[in-house]
Amino acid sequence: MDTNGMIGIGKDALMGTYAQYPVVLAGGEGRRVRDLAGKTYLDLVAGIAVNILGYHDPGLSAALHGVIDGGLLHCSNLYWNPYAIRAAERLKRLSSLSRVFFCNSGTEANEAALKLVRKYGASKAEGRTEVITMQQSFHGRTYGALSATGQPKYQEPFKPMLGGFFYAPFNDIEGVKALIGPKTCAIFVEAVQGEGGVIPATTTFLRQLRTLCDDHDILLVCDEVQCGMGRTGYPFAFQKSGISCDVMTLAKGLGGGVPIGATLVAEKLAHVLVPGDHGATFGGNLLACAAADHVLSRLEEGELIEHVRKVSAHLVKRLQEMQSEFPRIEEIRGEGLMLGIRMTDPVRPLIEACMDEGLLIANAGAHVLRMVPPLTITVDEIDEAIMILRKVFSSAFS
Ligand SMILES: Cc1ncc(COP(=O)(O)O)c(C=O)c1O
């Protein structure tokens, strides 16, 4: 069946929750994906910061085949399984946190975090369940995570939200302080806001948040769903600022393309959730945890992180060169391989033109082009992407 036929059936079969581009993706190799018609695209999207090892990674394939060949894909949380245990051990080592809860997605990881911080807060003082999050933040689409999300456009059609959430201006410690009260139990922050437009938290702000939390006995929750897993040149983005966090949430890159999320907590929170408090049928699934175990082994080796730092410096330099050439570029921002190009104009037409030229690039809001490629992207592939971007910009802005 051809692409249009396939898309026509898709439109009749799937809910219209996404505004897909008219391409059907069917395969991938390295940093390139292939559509149904056989056209290949250099990929700066990576399934939105998910496919961090790129496509057809031999180690990831072997890890998945290992589980499949063993015959047990899933065993529930009534029993232990070696993949979940190994992946949790690696996460502990990489993060210096103390316990892991596995789930399936970023929003679920944040739901677990919300339940945990509220239970902990309430155990300290009656009604201590209020949560501060940041304006322009994004924490997910389920009701708790959506209530935590500081972007009214995502909440409006689904009101009422859960109570007890307050939204502070990002990178503004006085704004956060103004919202703190005796009922505040936690502050959620993304070290680099993703959906909000690829905006890094300053090191100063993260350190100030840590101090504020310590001073008021408030839990600091780092949502690393998008910026974590090596993407910024650190295993987890908050680590750049040298702070510790009390809770961290992960998903996206954790499984290298296999759905998995995780909520990690510091030692003092290790026993807050007890049997019966929380769960997820698929949490700790063997296939997902084998994928995570392999991806985490790559982060532990350290080479991948070094690579991210090196190629990121190259990409930033090339983007800055473009900025001096194209005045419609307002700002280049981000960390590591999580970069945004803020444009004066809406970016959707640029994204479509890039696709025509064989390059996938995403947006973050209407005016920001977002690059979150596989972390394995090479310098040559970056140069190729820049060449295509230049061509597209030249013809769009001539
Ligand atoms: C920072 C952050 N948190 C949470 C989520 C939600 O993750 P998921 O779509 O896996 O539920 C996202 C998704 O983009 C995210 O960027």
Domain ranges of the chain: 3-57+303-396, 72-301
pLDDT at 267: 98
- Counting residues of the chain whose pLDDT is more than 70, the rounded percentage is 100
Residue nearest to atom 9 of ligand 1 (CA): 106
One DSSP character per residue, 92-135 reads: HHHH---EEEEESSHHHHHHHHHHHHHHHHHHHSTT--EEEEEB
Q: Are 265 and 272 in contact (CB under 8 A)?
A: yes
What average pLDDT score do residues 359-387 get?
Answer: 98
pLDDT at 398: 84
* Ligand 1 centroid to residue 391 C-alpha, Å: 32
What average pLDDT score do residues 219-223 get?
Answer: 99
Q: Is the dihedral of CA 6, 8, 13, 18 positive or negative?
A: positive
The 10s digit of each residue's pLDDT in 322-370 is: 999 999 999 999 999 999 999 999 999 999 999 999 999 999 999 999 9
pLDDT at 62: 98
Band of residue 84 on the pLDDT scale cut at 50, 70, 90: very high
Band of residue 177 on the pLDDT scale cut at 50, 70, 90: very high
Q: Candidates 51, 105, 107: which one to mutate for ligand 1, based on the most atoms within 8 Å of Cβ? A: 107
**Closest atom, ligand 1, to C-alpha of 142:** 11
pLDDT at 317: 98
Q: Are 249 and 106 in contact (CB under 8 A)?
A: yes
Q: Candidates 226, 229, 335: which one to mutate for ligand 1, based on the most atoms within 8 Å of Cβ? A: 226
What rounded mean pLDDT belongs to the chain? 98
The 10s digit of each residue's pLDDT in 283-325 is: 999 999 999 999 999 999 999 999 999 999 999 999 999 999 9
pLDDT at 269: 98
pLDDT at 358: 98
pTM of the model: 0.98
Fold of 72-301: Aspartate Aminotransferase; domain 2 (3.40.640)
* Residue 225 pLDDT greater than 90, yes or no: yes
Band of residue 165 on the pLDDT scale cut at 50, 70, 90: very high
Q: Candidates 225, 248, 250: which one to mutate for ligand 1, based on the most atoms within 8 Å of Cβ? A: 225
* Residue 176 pLDDT greater than 90, yes or no: yes
323: buried, middle or exposed (CB in 10 Å: 19+, 13-18, 0-12)?
middle
CATH superfamily, domain 3-57+303-396, is Aspartate Aminotransferase, domain 1 (3.90.1150.10)
